[in-house]
Amino acid sequence: MSEQYLLEMNEIVKSFPGVKALKGVTLKIRPGEIHGLVGENGAGKSTLMKCLMGIYKPDNGTILFNGKEIKNYSVRDAMNYGIAMIQQELSPVYHRSIMSNIFLGNEPKTNLGFIDWNRMKVESLEWLKKVDVEEDPTREMHELTIAKMRMVEVARALASDAKLLIMDEPTSALTTKEVKQLFTTMRKIKEMGNSIVFITHRLDEIFEVCDQITVFRDGESVGYVKPTEIDQNGLIQLMVGREIKNLYPKTECTKGEVALKVENLSMGHSFKDVSFEVRHGEILGVAGLVGAGRTEVIETIFGLHKKSSGKIFIEGKEVEINSSSDAFDNGMALLTEERRKDGIFPILDIRFNTTVANLKHYIRKSNLINHQAITADTKEYIKKLDVKTPSDKQLIQFLSGGNQQKVLISRLLLTEPKIIFLDEPTRGIDVGAKSEIHRLINDLAHQGISVVMVSSELPEIMGMSDRIMVMHEGKVTGILENKDINQSVIMEYASGIRDDFVPAETERVNA
Amino acid sequence: MNTQAEGMQRFYKTIQKYGIVFVLLFMMIIFMVINPTFISVNNLIKIANQASIYGIMALGVTLIIIARGIDLSMGSQVAFAGLIIASLGQLQTATFKVYPNLPELPVIVPIAVGLLIATLVGATNGFFVAITGIPAFIATLGMTTILRGACLLYTKGQPVTNLVPGIVFFGESLFGIPMPVIVYMLMALLTYILLNHTRFGSDAYAIGGNVQAARVSGINVSLATIKVFAFSGLMCGVAALVFAGRVRSVHPGAATGYELTAIAATTIGGTSQTGGIGTVWGAVVGTLVLSVLRNGLTMVGVDGYWQQIVEGMIIIGAVIIDMRKNAKAN
């Protein structure tokens, strides 16, 4: 019976003070299978994987690996059994070579006990070939793209003889092309007889690459299905336990005057001659591939980078913005792309995180901070945005991604912005929270705020925007009305095949 | 979860949060049991008095460490500021005068000039860290050497003695309480207010918590960093004043190594070297732990050499406990 599974986790229970994170979860993985794990943040996926890796000890339940029961083991043991985890946040040794990373802690030795660099190089080449990375193994890790680093981590797992690879959101920072490549390699690993646990928030990826899906909800496994037996809506329904009627609740609202106008804005090699305008109450989606310069454009408008030329007008008046504090003073607010890197203050509480950008409004005449007002406003926004937290004093690092994002949005709203920039507002956020954030964005537009939203998810761009600006390699290739438009048209602009703004003097012969 | 377990949970949390206070009380009880005179009012005042100089320095460096910096030049800042204060506040009868023709100035002048210069030196540290981007460790290490050289140059290697009563006053007592203790308490109060109730303190937490996010949130990181270092400089100036008052003279090698005691005190008090975490009361309790330890070990007759070994172990032990606490929180 049990021989047919590589891994069997039965009735796993794990409690933390105050929360029952896992309430008897079952996970069964066959050899040579790509197994998708889906569920909202906080559903228990990571907790279960940490139990599997030996980071947490389950309170109850059994784990069978290769038919044998394993328990009370450490991370080291788990790796020896043949379980390896590739974290969402990569942590390679950046300033060492690829091969040193592949054999980290597992270096081949010569008879004398010295590191056998030659063997290491030869074997590294083999492993790299298996994961389709063509690189010199002596190259330093930091020179690689994120996609390649991820593949090196896979190679490292394979080199340590892992039978089961856990990949936690491996596609989150990759371009579409890199994702395709990753999937090819994943299938190849599957052919080699290894199994992969694939955790992702992008449901289309689940359907593309998985053989089997386990769905989590509130600490329970609520579904064990094949991708052929279910569709995306069915999966979402399983995940959230209710029907999400409208992931993109965009409603029409009246547009006002032009709030922000950007003229021929350039910044170094990042982008050139970007011009656009946004009206009050309008949502402008910014689409493009990773590296097209979208983030740089909004960060430059926001004063985080120095522009090399161009003009910015707010409500018809030209403004000079040299720092984020100038930007706030001019009624702008920015939600940055990487929540962990430059959004949250992880070890500080929600009150601090909510009010940090708006502190000057809490300073009394005596120069002292009005903590009561801070607490009151924080509580108000926790309620308004439905942030799920035990208290306003909770450290933000303990909230789920979606709730962290809500706190960050509260931070922006408190500054009473006229123009709000959102950079990948729903990246890494589960479906339920996603639709809430979309509803919030829609509300902002209805309040007359201009929204500029950068997103790599085309359904989000098309579902939420009034107009769509598409960028390709630092240039705007199109500004489109969001009517009768489809994904492939946007992709043509994003890849530079179409360009509405080819300047006359550089017009090519074939144009 | 039943209520008993929750009660235990709360108990552990309290122990963790105020663990260092329990350590302090525990130490005091042990010393008291072995030698009851330890707990006499006189001895307790003495402990506080001994704690005051590096306690004041610890206040400044707490802010710096919260903003994810470090200041290794504090000892030399104390010496430099102390020399300035002393040189401008010598009695006319002094045998060696730095400024032979200087008339006796109102005591506010040497104090004000000394504090101002100390603040500027701190700001210079902050400038190097914030504007050039070199690590605080390096900037302040360089500053240490520069300042020691400046000290020697300033007095040609001589100690400055024969100070006016207005300076010596800061080493004496007021209503039975030593002035150093009074100054220390006032400075702790000032730091507490700045750290917890002003933009200045809030910015320090923000920079230490996530400097990128701070920048995006409209905080002028460079200016805030300079201010934090300048504040630490000011605290060194105040410590220098107390030093001059207590010792009644300042020499160019004064206060050597004091910065390490101050950093140790801050660390024992739970300020995290990774930034963003730290409290004033922690810095005060940490300072008292070290001071009680030094005094108590002497009172119970522990060899002076052993005292240093114990002190070192306490520092390491405190950080181990602290890191475990923070790890658990994650």
Say which residue the tokens 């522009």 belong to: A307
Both A104 and A16 in one domain: the answer is yes
Beta-carbon separation of A359 and B205 below 8 A: no
Per-residue pLDDT tens digits for B67-122? 999 999 999 999 999 999 999 999 988 888 888 888 888 999 999 999 999 999 99
Judgement on whether residues A132 and A268 belong to the same structural domain of the protein: no
Q: How confident is the model at residue A511 (pLDDT cuts 50, 70, 90)?
A: very low
| One domain, residues A130 and A87 | yes
Same domain, A54 and A134: yes
B216 and chain A: CB distance < 8 Å anywhere? yes
Residue the block writes with tokens 């689940």 = A206
Contacts of A371 in chain B (CB under 8 A): 197
Mean pLDDT to the nearest integer, A119-140: 92
Residues from chain B contacting residue A397 (CB–CB below 8 Å): 330
Which residues between 393 and 422 in chain A have a beta carbon less than 8 angstroms from any beta carbon of chain B? 395, 397, 411
Q: Which residue has the higher pLDDT, A1 or B245?
A: B245
Task: Say how many domains are in chain B.
Answer: 1
In a domain, B13, yes or no: no
How far, in whole angstroms, is CA A135 from its chain's centroid?
A: 27
* Residue A283 pLDDT level (bands cut at 50, 70, 90): very high
Check B220 against A369: CB less than 8 A apart: no
Q: How confident is the model at residue A244 (pLDDT cuts 50, 70, 90)?
A: low
Query: Of A184, A210, A240, which marks where a domain is finished?
Result: A240
Interface of B with A in 187-206 (CB under 8 A): 193, 196-199, 202, 205-206
B206 belongs to a structural domain: yes
> How far is residue A280's CA from residue A299's CA, in Å, rounded to a whole number?
20
Mean pLDDT value of segment A271-294: 91
Looking at residue A509, its pLDDT comes to: 46
- Is A426 found in the same domain as A410? no
Instruction: Kindly determine whether residue A356 and residue B219, on different chains, have CB atoms separated by under 8 Å.
Output: yes
Are B114 and B240 contacting, i.e. CB atoms less than 8 angstroms apart? yes
**pLDDT given at position A18:** 64
| A250 within a domain of the structure (yes/no) | no
Q: What pairing do the DSSP bridges indicate for beta strands A317-319 and A309-314?
A: antiparallel
Q: CATH number of the domain that B74 lies in?
A: 1.10.3470
> Which is more confident, A427 or A193?
A193
Number of domains, chain A: 3
**Paired tokens of B14:** 């309290």
Q: What is the pLDDT of residue B326?
A: 61
Query: B115: which 2 tokens?
Result: 């504090």
pLDDT of A475 higher than 70: yes
pLDDT tier at A443, thresholds 50, 70, 90:
very high
State whether A109 and A223 are in the same domain.
yes
Q: Does A322 touch chain B (CB under 8 A)?
A: no
Residue B4 in this model has a pLDDT that exceeds 80: no
CA dihedral A174, A180, A182, A186 (to 10 degrees): 150
Which residues are paired to A221 by β-bridges? A216
What the block records as the tokens of B323 is 């890191």
**E-only strand ranges, A87-226:** 164-168, 195-199, 212-217, 220-225
With CB atoms and an 8 Å threshold, state whether B205 touches A397. Answer: no
With an 8 Å Cβ cutoff, are B197 and A17 in contact?
A: no
Flag whether B155 is in a domain. Answer: yes
Instruction: Please tell me which of the candidates B9, B196, B217 has its beta carbon nearest to residue A356.
Output: B217
Which among B198, B219, B329 has the least Cβ separation from residue A369?
B198
Q: What percent of chain A has pLDDT over 90?
A: 51
Cα gap A336→A295, rounded to integer Å: 8
Mean pLDDT score, B272-299:
92
Planar angle of CA B163, B168, B173, nearest 5 degrees: 170
Whether A325 has a pLDDT exceeding 80, the answer reads: yes
* A337 located within any domain: no
Q: Is A323 an interface residue toward B (CB < 8 Å)? A: yes
CA distance B4 to A219: 25
The packing angle between helices B41-66 and B221-247, to 10°, is 160
Residue A176 pLDDT grade (very low, low, confident, very high; cuts 50, 70, 90): confident
> Does residue A352 share a domain with residue A213?
no
Residues A112 and A17 in one domain: yes
Per-residue pLDDT band at B20 (split at 50, 70, 90): confident
Task: Retrieve residue B40's tokens.
Answer: 């006499």
Q: Would B7 be classed as within a structural domain?
A: no
On whether residue B259 sits in a domain, the answer given is: yes
Beta carbons of B162 and B244 less than 8 angstroms apart: no
Per-residue pLDDT band at B327 (split at 50, 70, 90) = low
Q: What is the CATH number of the domain that holds A43?
A: 3.40.50.300
Print the domain residue range for B302. 37-329
Q: Give dist(CA B23, CA B43) in Å, integer.
A: 19
- Residue A225 phi/psi, 5° resolution? -135, 160
Residue A164 lies in a domain: yes
Q: Which of A1-10, A443-452, B207-216 has the least mean pLDDT? A: A1-10
- A43 occurs within a structural domain: yes
Instruction: Give the pLDDT of residue A508.
Output: 47
The size of the A-B interface in CB pairs under 8 A is 83
Which residues numbered 226-285 in B keep a CB inside 8 Å of some CB on A?
Answer: 276-277
- Domain assignment present for residue A205? The answer is yes
The residue of chain A with its CA nearest to that of B196 is A369
Q: Measured between CA atoms, how close is B280 to chain A, in angstroms? A: 16
Give the pLDDT confidence score for residue B64 in this predicted structure: 97
Q: How far apart are CA B130 and CA B33, in angstroms?
A: 50
**A325 with A191, same domain?**
no
On whether residue B12 sits in a domain, the answer given is no
Query: Do A410 and A500 sit in the same domain of this protein?
Result: no
CA neighbor of A134 nearest in space, from A117, A151, A116? A151
Percent residues over pLDDT 70 in chain A: 96
Give contacts of B215 with chain A, Cβ < 8 Å. Answer: 304, 324, 342
Closest CA to A461 of A180, A204, A248, A271: A248
Is the pLDDT confidence value at A1 over 80?
A: no
Higher model confidence: residue A492 or residue B325? A492
CB contacts, 8 Å: A323 with chain B: 218, 220
Q: What is the mean pLDDT of residues B242-258?
A: 94
Is any Cβ of chain A less than 8 angstroms from the Cβ of B17?
Answer: no
Quick check: A82 and A65 in contact, CB under 8 A?
yes
First-last CA distance in chain A: 66
Domain that holds residue A10: 2-240
pLDDT tens across B30-79, in order?
Answer: 999 999 999 999 999 999 999 999 999 999 999 999 999 999 999 999 99
- Are A356 and B206 within 8 A, CB to CB? yes
| Separation in Å, CA of B151 to nearest CA in chain A | 37
Which pLDDT does position B2 carry in this prediction? 53
Residue B114 lies in a domain: yes
* Residue A371 belongs to some domain of the structure: yes
Per-residue pLDDT, averaged over A419-445, amounts to 88
Residue B235 lies in a domain: yes
The answer to whether position A245 is within a domain reads: no
Q: Which of A23, A334, A348 has the most B C-beta neighbours within 10 Å, making it the best mutation to test the interface with B?
A: A348
For A348, which of B218, B220, B276 is closest by C-beta distance?
B276
* Residue range A12-33: mean pLDDT, rounded: 88
Cβ–Cβ of B216/A395 closer than 8 Å? no
Q: B219 CB near a chain A CB, below 8 Å?
A: yes
More confident residue, A86 or B170: B170
Both A284 and A348 in one domain: the answer is no
Inter-chain contact A352–B206, Cβ cutoff 8 Å?
yes
Q: Is A40 within a domain?
A: yes
Residue A31: C-alpha distances to residues A67, A163, A476, B191, B217 (Å): 11, 8, 48, 62, 49
Gap from B203 CA to chain A (nearest CA, Å): 8
pLDDT of A243: 64
Q: What is the pLDDT of residue A177?
A: 83
Q: Mean pLDDT across the stretch A276-288?
A: 94
Confirm or reject contact between B3 and chain A (CB < 8 A).
Answer: no
Nearest Cα to A93, choosing from A25, A38, A152, A36? A152
**pLDDT exceeds 70 at position A210:** yes
Q: Using CB atoms, which residue from A18, A334, A348 is nearest to B216? A: A334
| Residue that finishes a domain, picked among A416, A432, A456 | A416
Would you call A336 an interface residue with chain B, using a CB distance cutoff of 8 Å? yes
Q: Which of B197, B217, B329 sits opposite A368 (nearest CB)?
A: B197
CA distance B219 to B202: 10
Same domain, A12 and A158: yes
In this predicted structure, what is the pLDDT of residue A389? 87
Residue B39 burial class via C-beta count within 10 angstroms: exposed 0-12, middle 13-18, buried 19 and up: middle
Position A507 scores a pLDDT of: 47
How close does chain B come to A495, measured CA to CA in Å? Answer: 30
Q: What is the pLDDT of residues B136-174, one digit of tens each?
A: 999 999 999 999 999 999 999 999 999 999 999 999 999
Interface residue B212 vs chain A (CB under 8 A): yes
Q: Return all residues near B147 (Cβ < 8 A) that are at least 6 apart.
A: B73, B76, B77, B79, B80, B121
